[in-house]
Amino acid sequence: MTSYDVLIRGSGIVGQSLALALSRLGLAVALRPDPVRRDATTDVRAYALGATSIELLRSLKVWDALPPNAATAVHEMHIEGDAHASVLEFSSWEAKVGELACIVDAPVLERELGAAVRFAPHVTVVNENEKGGDDVPASLTALCEGKTSDSRERLGVRFERTDYGHHAIAARLVASRGHANTARQWFRSPDILALLPFDTPQSGSSYALVWSLPNDRVDQLMALDPPAFEQALMDATGGAAGELHLSSERAAWSLMGAHASAVSGPGWVLLGDAAHVVHPLAGQGLNLGLADVACLARVMAERESWRAPGDARLLRRYARERLAPTWAMAGLTEGLLQLFAHSSPAARELRNRGLSLVNHLPPLKRWLTARALAS
């Protein structure tokens, strides 16, 4: 049986990106796809990617291969507090950058990564139902299976979860008004709603919706027929983006925060949602996962020639480097969630004054923008 340097379990965006990054180092990689794959025709996920993530995907020759309508630049960001009482605005012009982020079509990105993997040297796709597919000898096993990773559980790694009591609703929308490359977000109790500018299915006037709400409210909204759901969206956004109409089915999933009790050990390492899960309110989940990929690839590139990829001390370098960024982002999202979850008048006044204060302090806004772009 062929032996590999690295076995990657999980072939989502993080797993395929890791396979490409390690292949470029000349490592022999086995990629085992997820047993159950999403149907790309009904997948409505969209991600906000920062400059660092885009730089990684570009270095893997994937970003520039995306079709024009698969990635939409965000030039402006408009954030509102409770009852339009406060506003916070960011702009790429003010930050002196080309864009604040790019909203990317998740299934299209996965498809392009898959195409790149098929032509990558040193990468072998090993299916579970093939002979030996579940027992591939490798110096290092990288787990990129997501938050429900079975392999992580078999290692005995604890996955410490925080249940937010919320679900997210995602869908694709078409608006009666052009999006002007502006992302819109409403922070209020008890929900957080984001409209992310998108160019599918209608260039210039489509959005990706991410709406976080308490579980019981999600059940009510998912039960509505499309016209009633669209009216609920209009009520929630106050018509700020024009009339909104569904252009896809709706999807919903539970939200939680989580982190693994360890992200590396002798011969194994965790990346992406298998290692950490944060609330989507800051749009940083995939950015954290791709930062994991970049970090592990760098650690492998700089390893001593006599160290095997699965060397425990080598993998601790990766774990140490990723500890501070992941804890910082988890703390930020958790803090924002707690601040905006409280419905008390004092909490409402605090967050509204906070948004207004930041909006009137350009140096602070530039610092926040720089931190977000560095993610």
Q: What is the pLDDT of residues 19-41, one digit of tens each?
A: 999 999 999 999 999 876 677 67
Closest among 93, 18, 20, 50 to 329, alpha carbons compared: 50
Is it the case that residue 307 has pLDDT exceeding 50? yes
Is it the case that residue 49 has pLDDT exceeding 90? yes
> Of 303 and 360, which is predicted with more confidence?
303
Cα dist from 358 to 187, 331, 354, whole Å: 15, 19, 6
Is it the case that residue 364 has pLDDT exceeding 50? no
Neighbours of 314 (CB within 10 A): 19
Average pLDDT of every residue of the chain: 86
DSSP 76-127: EEEEE-GGG--EEEEEHHHHTSS-SEEEEEHHHHHHHHHHHHHT-TTEEE--
Structure tokens that stand for 154 in this block: 């078999």
Is it the case that residue 288 has pLDDT exceeding 50? yes
Residue indicated by tokens 């299915």: 201
Classify each residue of 150-162 as buried b or exposed e, where b means 16 or more C-beta atoms within 10 Å of its C-beta. ebbeebebebeee
Is it the case that residue 367 has pLDDT exceeding 50? no
Closest among 186, 193, 283, 198 to 247, alpha carbons compared: 198
- Looking at residue 215, what is its pLDDT? 92
Structure tokens that stand for 310 in this block: 């699965």
Q: What is the DSSP letter of 205?
A: S
Is it the case that residue 181 has pLDDT exceeding 50? yes
Structure tokens that stand for 372 in this block: 């977000």
Is it the case that residue 360 has pLDDT exceeding 60? no
Q: How far apart are CA 135 and CA 245, in angstroms?
A: 48
Angle ∠(58,61,63) on CA atoms, nearest 5: 50
Is it the case that residue 138 has pLDDT exceeding 60? yes
Instruction: List, in order, residues 6 or more apart from 261 with CB less than 8 Å away.
Output: 157, 158, 159, 160
Helix crossing, 51-59 with 13-23: angle to 10°?
50
Q: What is the pTM of this model?
A: 0.90
Q: How far apart are CA 120 and CA 11, in angstroms?
A: 14
- Looking at residue 345, what is its pLDDT? 59
Q: How far apart are CA 28 and CA 122, in angstroms?
A: 5
Among 108-117, 347-356, 359-368, the minimum mean pLDDT is found in: 359-368
* Most confident option among 34-48, 167-181, 350-364: 167-181
Is it the case that residue 229 has pLDDT exceeding 90? yes
Question: Average pLDDT for residues 158-186, to the nearest whole number?
Answer: 93
**CA dihedral of residues 187, 193, 197, 202 (deg, nearest 10):** -160
Is it the case that residue 334 has pLDDT exceeding 50? yes
For residue 352, which amino acid is it? Answer: N
Q: Note if the bond before 137 is cis, omega within 30 degrees.
A: no
Question: Average pLDDT for residues 317-325, to the nearest whole number?
Answer: 94
Q: Is CATH 3.90.1150.10 the classification given to domain 4-161+255-373?
A: no
